[in-house]
C-alpha cells in the first residue's frame, strides 16, 4: 500500500513542535489522511460484527477480566475502591494498617449490588468475598457495645487476620489475571500452552521507575538475566518468530529526564547498549516501552545512537513502542522509518493507544503548558491509530509493525487497509483479548501471528501496572468495558471513529480545559516545560545580558550605605554595588505617597493596570528569570514558578478589586517582602493593596532588590503612578526605624521570620493611635506524615521536592518527616538513594537540582544547626558538595533522624529534613505532637486509608494541608496560602478574604471599664463548645436568640461550607473556615456591639472570654452550659493590662485604648489577632483561620474521575 509520508515532519526536533500544535489542526491532518485510505467500509463492519458476536458468546461463564472491569466501573464508587485496594494492600507489611485499609475500602462499598450479576466466576467470587467481608466488618460499626458482647463481635476480633489474608489472596488472584508469573520460570510454563497454539511472547519485568542507582542496578540485572533466560527457551527462533523482552528506560536510570541529558547520554546509554547487544547476541527482540511525553525526544536520541552502532549488524530485533494518543506519533514513525533505512537495518515498532493519558492532561494543566501533547478525544486517538497503522503498513520494508489492540473495529480497519497480511503481527495483553484473536482465527478473518505482552514479577510490584490496566479498560468508553455489556448494541461498537469525530462540533473535548483555561474567567499563567529543548533554551536566554541589567538597576541617588550585589552561587567578585536608602530617604518616599486620587479612580481602572502588569511580566519573563537565577540563586524551574505566581497574583487581585467598590482603603501601606520569593510575594503584597485603592511603600529584601526594582519599573509601565507605589530598597533596621512608628502607615504586610513579625507587632502597638492592620506570614515546622499504605516511590519524590527544591528555602518546605516504623527503614533507604543522585551547583546550568542558600548568614545558621545535631541526632545521609561549589554559598542536602520533635527548637531554613519514626497504633497522637510546636503553616499526609486522611485533615493545625502530594508550590486562587499560630495571622494570600483586609472599617465604640469586680477567681465550664458541630452550634444559638439569629445565616453558611477551588484535573482543593480557639471580648467594647461579635465568635466555633462582671443574658444559659464562655476577674487596671500581655487568647476584640494596646506588645508567641472594628464580615474572618486542603486524587495510580467524566 502507499502512504504520503510528507504529510508529517520527520525529525526529533519536530516532536516538541507537534506537542504544542492545536488539537484541531493535528486532527484535521489525520482526518485528511484517513479519507485517502482505501478501505472497504462494509467489510470492516462485517468483520467487526462477527468478532463482537463471537467474543460475547464465547466469553460467557469464563474467567473474564472484562466482566470485572465492566461491573466495577470507574463511574461507580466500588470501582474506585477496588482500584485503591488493589493498588496498596499487598505492600502493607503490618497487620494493623492492613486491617484499617481493608475496613476503610470494603465497608465503604455496596458490594452486595454486584453479587450474582456477573457471568464469570472471578467477578462473582470477588463480589461475594467483598460483600461478606464488608458485612463482617460493619458489625462493630452498627452497635459496637452489642458487637463486643456477641459471638459476631468475638469473630470480628479474632477473625481480622483471616479477613486480611483472604482479601490479600483475592487481590493476588485478581493480579494473576494480568500477570503471567511471579518469575520467568513460572511464566515460561504458563506460556507454553499458548505457544503451542502459535502465540509469541514479549516479557516485561514489572517494577516502578528507578529512584535510586541501587534500583537501577537491580532492574538492569533483572533485564540482563531475563534476556539470558529467554534465549534458552527461544531456541534460535529469531526476533520475529521467537519471544522477546520489553524494557523501560526509566527503570535503568534514576535521572532519566531531559535536564539530565549528559548523564542519560553516558550512563543510561551504556546500559541500554549493553542490553541491546545481549539481545542481539541471543537473536531476541528487545522493545523499549513507551513512557511520558516529556521523555519522548530523549528516548529517540538514545534509539538513534543505538541504531547507528555497527555492532548490531543486520539484526532486526531492536524496537520501540509508540503511543497513538500523542500528536507527534506520525512524526516519530517517519523518523524511525528513515533511521532504519539510513542504517540499512530493520526495526520493530509496537503501536499502542497509550497508557499515561490522564497524567499528560494533568501535567500540562499544572505546568501552564501551551497545549496538551495528547488528544483529548478517544475518537481522535482511534483515528490517529488508523493513520499510524497505515503509515507502518506502508513502511514494512524497514519496519516490522506490531499492532497492540483489543478492539475489534481497530483490527478490522487494519486488515482492510491491505490485502497483504504478512510482515506484521498483532499484540495483546496477557489476560485480555483472548476471545478477539481466537475469533479472528475461527471466523477466518486473520490467521497471522499474535504476540502476548506478558508482565512478570512479584505481586507487590504489579500494583502500578494493574491500576493502569484498570484505568485504561475500566472507563465506560473503553471497548473492553463495552464489549461485555449486553445492553450496548454491537452496532454502537463498530461506529467508524472518523465519522464520530466529524460529528463533533469541536475537535477538542469541551470537558477538558486547556491549561490556560482551568481557572475559569481568570487566565492561567503560561509556564515553561523545561524537559523540552525549546523551552529550556528560552528559560536561560537572558543569562548572558543579566549583569548589564543588574548594573543599570543598581544606579540610584540615595544617601544610605553601600551594598554589594552578589550571586550566591559565585560570591566573588560582586556583580556590582548599589546604595541603600537612608532613613531620611524612606521618610521622603512616604511623604511622596498619595492614595486619594488612586482610590477615587475606581476598581475597574485599577484592575486594568494590574492586568496590564501581568501581561508585561509575561512579556519580560526571560529577563526576570535571569534576574532570579543570578541575584536570588534560583533554579530555572523555580524562577518559572515564581514568575507565574506573580502573574497570577496580579490577575487574581485585579478580578477581586470590585470588593473595594464603595469602600475606603486603609491609606498608606508598608509591604515588607522576603528574599526567597522576591518577585511573587513582593508583587502579591503590592497588587492586593493597590487593587484595594491603597498607596504602597514596597520594601524588598536587600538580597534581591534588583528583582523588585525591575518589577516596579514594569508597574510604572503598566500605568501605575509613582505616587501610589514607591520602592524602599534598604535594610530592615533602617526601614523599620523610619516607618513603623509613623502614624501615616495604616497597614503593614510582612513575610519573614516569626521573630521579626513579633518585633513589628510590638513596635506599632506602642506607637499610640489606632492599631495599623498587620498581616504576617511567618515560618513553619512543616511536617509530612506517612503510613505504611503509602507508595514509597511517591513519598520519595515528594520528600525530595518538598525538602530540597529551592535549597529548602521556602516557608512551606518540609522540615520533619514522620514515618510509620514498619516502613521507615526501606523508605529512608530510598530517600537517601535519591539524594545521592541530586546535582548541586550553579543554577545557571540546567542539570542542577539544588542551588545555593541566599547569604553568609543563612549558611552560618545551617552550619550551626549541623554542629548541634551531632550530639542529638543521627546523620542518615548528607550529599557531597562538588568542588566547583567552593566559591558559592552552598549547604548540602541533609537527612537526620531524631527521637523527638522537641529536638528541634526552631525552624531550620534550608535543605535539611528530620525523620521521626512512629508506631502504627500512635497514628492519631502524631498530630498532637506536630501542633504542640506552635507552628501551623503546611502539613502533608501520605495514606491510602481515607479515615487516616480525614483524621490528619481534622486534627492538623496547619493552614495548608496536602494529601498524597508534595507540600510546596501553592497556586494563587487554587490553594490560598498562609498559616496560623506562630506561622502567621491570615488572611491567606491568593485567597478570597485577602484583599478586603486592606480596606478601612469603622472602629469599635469604647466604653468605660467597670473594675468593681466580683472578687471571684477566673472560672470556666468544661470546653464542650469547641467540640460541637456547626449545626449543633447554630441550633443552640437559635435557642438563645430565637428567630433573630437568622440575621447571621450568612455567617453560618460561610462557616459550614467548604469552598471548592478551581484548578487542574486530578486535584481537589477546598477552602474552609475553622475556629481559632478563644476570643477575648474586652470590657471596653460597647455592650451592643460586643453582643453581635460574641455571637459571631461562638458561631465560628470559638469560646468567648469576658470579664466576670460582664452581663450575660439569662437566655444565653444554654450556651453557658455547653462551655461557651470563660469568665475572668479583672479587679483593676493593672490586672487588665497584665491579662492582655499574657498571650492567653487567640483573638482580642478591643476598642481604642493606647495603654491596653501597648500591653499587647509584651505578648511572647503567636501574634495576637486584634479586632477593633464592628464590621461583622471582617470579624468573622478574624475569628476564623482559613484552611486549604489539597488532595491529589490520582495518587492511587490514575485519574479515574477524568477517565469517567469524558466517556
First and final C-alpha spacing in the chain: 34
Cell of 943: 495514606
Distance CA 369, CA 526 (A): 6
Which three cell numbers, joined as nine digits, stand for 1048? Answer: 447571621
HSE of 720 in the Cβ direction (CA atoms, 13 Å)?
36
Q: Are 791 and 88 in contact (CB under 8 A)?
A: yes
Instruction: State the alpha helices, DSSP H only, in 35-150.
Output: 41-58, 65-71, 77-88, 95-108, 121-142, 144-149
For residue 1099, the surrounding DSSP H or E stretch is helix 1087-1099
Locus of grid cell 483490527: 411
Nearest alpha carbon to residue 485 among 156, 55, 962:
55
Name the residue among 95, 87, 130 with its Cα closest to residue 109.
130
Contact 1184, 1074 (CB under 8 A): yes
The CA distance from 162 to 854, in Å, is: 56
Between CA 484 and CA 480 the distance in angstroms is 7
Residues paired with residue 669 on neighbouring β-strands, in sequence order: 696, 747
Strand 745-751 with 1059-1060, pairing? unpaired
The CB-side HSE value for 892 (13 A sphere, CA atoms) comes to 18
Give the separation between CA 603 and CA 769, rounded to whole angstroms: 29
Question: In terms of C-beta distances under 8 Å and separation of at least 24 residues, what long-range contacts does 1160-1163 make, across chains too?
Answer: 1160/761, 1160/765, 1161/761, 1161/762, 1161/763, 1161/765, 1161/766, 1162/762, 1163/758, 1163/761
| 802 contacts 814 by C-beta, under 8 angstroms | yes
Asked if residue 256 lies in contact with residue 213, where contact means CB atoms within 8 angstroms, the answer is no
Residue closest to 185 by CA, chosen among 230, 241, 220, 146? 230
Residues in Cβ contact with 1122 at an 8 Å cutoff, skipping those fewer than 6 apart? 1021, 1024, 1025, 1028, 1036
CA angle 37, 40, 45 (to 5 degrees): 115
Q: How many angstroms separate the CA atoms of 999 and 775, rounded?
A: 13
Give the list of residues 6+ apart from residue 923 with CB closer than 8 angstroms, or none.
785, 787, 820, 948, 951
| 680: Cα separation from own chain's centroid | 19
Yes or no: say if 1190 and 962 are a contact pair by the CB < 8 Å rule.
yes
Q: Cα separation of 849 and 260, whole Å? A: 10
The answer to whether the peptide bond before residue 591 is cis (omega within 30 degrees of 0) is no
Out of 360, 777, 907, 1186, the active site residue is 777
| 811 in active site | yes
DSSP labels for 1036-1073? HHHHHHGGGGGGGHHHHHHHH-PEEPP--TTEEEEEEE
Rg (CA), the chain: 33
Q: What is the DSSP letter of 288?
A: E
Q: Exactly one of 586, 650, 671, 811 is catalytic; name it.
A: 811
| Contact (CB, 8 A) for 1152 and 770 | yes
Cell numbers 468478532 label which residue? Answer: 51
Q: What residues contact residue 117 under an 8 Å CB cut-off, 6+ apart?
A: 71, 123, 124, 127
Is 777 a catalytic site residue?
yes
What are the residue numbers of the active site?
777, 811
Amino acid at each position: 500500500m502507499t502512504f504520503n509520508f510528507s504529510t508529517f515532519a520527520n525529525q526529533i526536533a519536530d516532536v516538541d513542535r507537534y506537542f504544542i500544535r492545536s488539537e484541531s489542526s493535528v486532527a484535521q491532518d489525520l482526518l485528511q489522511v484517513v479519507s485517502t485510505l482505501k478501505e472497504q467500509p462494509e467489510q470492516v463492519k462485517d468483520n467487526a460484527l462477527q468478532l463482537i458476536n463471537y467474543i460475547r458468546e464465547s466469553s460467557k461463564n469464563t474467567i473474564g477480566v472484562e466482566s470485572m472491569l465492566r461491573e466495577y466501573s470507574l463511574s461507580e464508587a466500588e470501582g474506585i475502591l477496588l482500584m485503591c485496594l488493589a493498588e496498596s494492600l499487598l505492600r502493607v507489611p503490618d497487620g494493623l494498617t492492613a486491617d484499617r485499609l481493608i475496613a476503610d475500602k470494603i465497608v465503604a462499598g455496596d458490594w452486595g449490588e454486584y453479587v450474582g450479576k456477573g457471568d464469570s466466576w472471578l467477578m462473582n467470587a470477588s463480589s461475594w468475598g467483598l460483600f461478606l467481608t464488608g458485612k463482617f466488618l460493619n458489625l462493630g460499626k452498627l452497635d459496637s457495645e452489642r458487637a463486643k458482647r456477641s459471638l459476631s463481635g468475638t469473630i470480628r476480633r479474632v477473625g481480622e487476620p483471616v479477613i486480611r489474608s483472604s482479601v490479600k489472596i483475592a487481590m493476588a488472584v485478581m493480579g494473576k489475571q494480568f500477570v503471567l508469573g511471579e518469575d520467568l520460570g513460572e511464566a515460561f510454563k504458563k506460556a507454553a500452552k499458548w505457544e503451542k497454539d502459535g502465540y509469541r511472547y514479549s516479557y516485561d519485568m514489572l517494577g516502578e521507575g528507578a529512584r535510586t542507582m541501587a534500583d537501577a542496578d537491580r532492574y538492569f540485572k533483572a533485564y540482563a538475566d531475563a534476556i539470558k533466560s529467554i534465549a534458552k527457551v527461544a531456541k534460535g527462533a529469531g526476533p520475529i518468530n521467537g519471544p522477546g523482552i520489553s524494557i523501560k528506560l526509566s527503570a535503568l536510570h534514576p535521572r532519566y529526564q531531559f535536564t539530565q541529558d549528559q548523564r542519560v547520554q553516558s550512563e543510561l546509554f551504556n546500559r541500554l547498549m549493553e542490553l541491546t547487544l545481549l539481545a542481539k547476541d541471543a537473536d531476541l527482540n528487545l522493545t523499549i516501552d513507551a513512557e511520558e511525553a516529556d521523555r519522548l525526544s530523549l528516548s529517540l536520541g538514545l534509539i538513534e545512537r543505538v541504531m547507528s552502532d555497527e555492532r548490531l549488524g543486520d539484526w532486526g530485533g531492536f524496537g520501540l513502542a509508540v503511543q497513538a494518543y500523542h500528536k507527534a506519533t506520525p512524526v516519530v514513525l517517519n523518523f524511525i522509518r528513515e533511521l532504519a533505512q539510513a542504517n540499512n537495518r530493520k526495526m520493530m515498532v509496537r503501536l499502542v493507544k497509550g497508557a499515561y493519558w490522564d497524567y499528560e492532561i494533568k501535567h500540562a494543566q499544572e505546568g501552564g503548558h501551551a497545549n496538551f501533547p495528547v488528544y483529548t478525544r478517544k475518537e481522535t486517538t482511534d483515528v490517529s491509530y488508523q493513520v499510524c497503522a497505515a503509515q507502518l503498513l506502508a513502511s514494512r520494508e524497514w519496519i516490522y509493525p506490531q499492532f497492540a489492540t483489543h478492539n475489534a473495529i481497530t483490527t478490522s480497519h487494519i486488515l482492510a487497509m491491505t490485502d497483504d497480511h504478512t510482515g506484521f503481527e498483532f499484540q495483546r495483553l496477557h489476560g485480555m483479548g483472548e476471545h478477539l484473536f481466537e475469533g479472528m482465527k475461527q471466523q477466518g478473518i486473520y490467521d497471522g501471528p499474535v504476540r502476548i505482552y506478558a508482565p512478570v514479577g512479584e505481586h507487590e510490584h504489579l500494583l502500578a501496572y494493574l491500576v493502569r490496566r484498570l484505568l485504561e479498560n475500566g472507563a465506560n468508553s473503553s471497548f473492553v468495558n463495552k464489549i461485555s455489556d449486553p445492553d450496548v448494541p454491537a452496532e454502537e461498537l463498530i461506529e467508524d471513529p472518523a465519522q464520530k469525530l466529524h460529528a463533533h462540533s469541536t475537535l477538542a473535548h469541551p470537558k477538558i480545559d486547556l491549561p490556560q483555561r482551568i481557572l475559569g474567567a481568570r487566565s492561567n499563567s503560561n509556564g515553561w516545560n523545561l524537559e523540552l529543548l525549546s523551552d529550556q533554551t528560552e528559560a536561560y536566554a537572558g543569562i548572558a545580558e543579566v549583569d548589564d541589567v543588574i548594573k543599570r538597576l543598581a544606579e540610584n541617588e540615595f544617601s544610605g550605605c553601600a551594598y554589594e550585589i552578589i550571586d550566591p552561587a559565585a560570591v566573588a567578585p560582586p556583580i556590582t554595588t548599589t546604595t541603600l536608602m537612608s532613613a531620611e530617604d524612606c521618610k521622603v518616599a512616604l511623604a511622596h505617597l498619595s492614595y486619594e486620587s488612586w482610590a477615587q479612580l475606581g476598581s475597574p481602572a485599577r484592575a486594568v493596570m494590574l492586568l496590564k502588569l501581568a501581561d508585561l511580566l509575561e512579556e519580560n519573563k526571560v529577563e526576570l528569570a535571569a534576574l532570579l537565577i543570578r541575584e536570588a540563586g534560583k533554579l530555572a524551574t523555580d524562577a518559572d514558578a515564581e514568575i507565574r505566581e506573580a502573574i497570577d497574583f496580579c490577575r487574581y487581585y485585579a478580578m477581586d478589586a470590585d470588593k473595594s467598590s464603595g469602600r475606603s482603603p486603609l491609606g498608606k501601606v508598608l509591604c515588607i517582602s522576603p528574599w526567597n520569593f522576591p518577585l511573587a510575594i513582593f508583587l502579591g503584597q503590592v497588587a492586593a493593596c493597590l487593587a484595594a485603592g491603597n498607596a504602597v511603600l514596597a520594601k524588598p529584601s536587600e538580597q534581591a532588590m534588583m528583582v523588585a526594582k525591575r518589577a516596579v519599573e514594569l508597574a510604572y509601565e503598566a500605568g501605575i503612578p509613582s505616587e501610589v507605589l514607591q520602592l524602599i530598597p534598604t535594610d530592615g533596621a533602617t526601614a523599620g526605624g523610619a516607618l513603623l512608628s509613623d502614624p501615616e502607615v495604616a497597614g503593614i504586610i510582612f513575610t519573614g521570620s516569626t521573630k521579626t513579625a513579633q518585633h513589628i507587632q510590638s513596635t506599632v502597638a506602642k506607637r499610640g493611635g489606632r492599631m495599623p492592620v498587620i498581616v504576617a506570614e511567618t515560618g513553619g515546622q512543616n511536617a509530612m506524615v506517612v503510613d505504611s499504605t503509602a507508595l514509597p516511590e511517591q513519598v520519595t519524590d515528594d520528600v525530595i521536592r518538598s525538602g530540597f527544591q529551592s535549597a529548602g528555602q521556602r516557608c512551606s518546605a518540609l522540615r520533619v518527616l514522620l514515618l510509620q516504623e514498619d516502613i521507615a527503614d526501606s523508605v529512608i533507604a530510598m530517600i537517601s538513594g535519591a539524594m545521592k543522585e541530586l546535582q548541586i551547583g550553579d543554577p545557571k546550568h540546567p542539570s542542577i537540582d539544588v542551588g545555593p542558600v541566599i547569604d553568609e548568614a543563612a549558611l552560618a545558621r545551617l552550619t550551626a544547626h549541623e554542629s548541634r545535631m551531632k550530639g542529638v541526632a543521627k546523620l542518615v545521609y548528607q550529599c557531597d558538595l562538588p568542588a566547583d561549589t567552593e566559591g558559592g554559598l552552598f549547604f548540602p542536602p541533609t537527612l537526620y533522624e531524631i527521637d523527638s520533635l522537641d529536638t528541634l527548637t526552631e525552624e531550620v531554613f534550608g535543605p535539611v529534613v528530620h525523620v521521626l519514626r512512629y508506631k502504627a497504633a500512635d497514628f492519631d497522637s502524631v498530630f498532637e505532637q506536630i501542633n504542640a510546636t506552635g507552628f501551623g503553616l503546611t502539613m502533608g499526609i501520605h495514606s491510602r486509608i481515607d479515615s487516616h486522611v480525614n483524621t490528619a485533615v481534622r486534627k492538623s493545625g496547619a493552614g495548608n494541608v496536602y494529601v498524597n502530594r508534595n507540600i510546596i508550590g501553592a497556586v494563587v486562587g487554587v490553594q490560598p496560602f498562609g498559616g496560623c499560630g506562630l506561622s502567621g495571622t491570615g488572611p491567606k494570600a491568593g485567597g478570597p478574604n485577602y484583599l478586603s483586609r486592606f480596606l478601612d472599617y469603622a472602629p469599635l465604640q469604647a466604653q468605660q471599664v467597670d473594675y468593681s469586680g466580683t472578687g471571684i477567681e477566673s472560672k470556666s465550664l468544661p470546653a464542650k463548645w469547641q467540640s460541637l458541630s456547626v449545626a449543633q452550634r447554630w441550633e443552640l444559638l437559635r435557642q438563645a436568640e430565637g428567630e433573630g439569629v437568622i440575621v447571621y445565616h450568612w455567617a453560618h453558611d460561610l462557616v459550614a461550607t467548604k469552598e471548592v477551588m478551581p484548578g487542574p484535573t486530578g486535584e481537589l482543593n477546598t477552602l474552609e473556615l475553622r475556629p481559632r480557639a478563644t476570643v477575648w471580648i474586652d470590657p471596653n467594647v460597647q455592650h451592643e456591639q460586643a453582643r453581635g461579635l460574641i455571637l459571631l465568635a461562638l458561631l465560628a466555633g470559638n469560646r468567648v472570654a469576658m470579664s466576670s462582671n460582664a452581663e450575660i443574658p439569662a437566655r444565653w444559659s444554654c450556651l453557658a452550659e455547653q462551655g461557651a464562655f470563660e469568665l475572668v476577674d479583672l479587679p483593676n487596671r493593672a490586672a487588665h493590662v497584665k491579662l492582655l500581655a499574657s498571650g492567653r487568647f487567640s483573638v482580642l476584640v478591643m476598642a481604642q485604648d493606647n495603654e491596653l494596646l501597648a500591653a499587647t506588645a509584651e505578648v511572647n508567641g503567636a501574634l495576637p489577632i486584634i479586632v477593633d472594628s464592628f464590621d461583622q464580615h471582617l470579624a468573622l474572618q478574624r475569628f476564623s483561620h482559613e484552611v486549604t486542603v489539597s488532595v491529589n486524587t490520582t495518587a492511587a495510580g490514575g485519574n479515574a474521575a477524568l477517565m469517567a467524566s469524558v466517556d
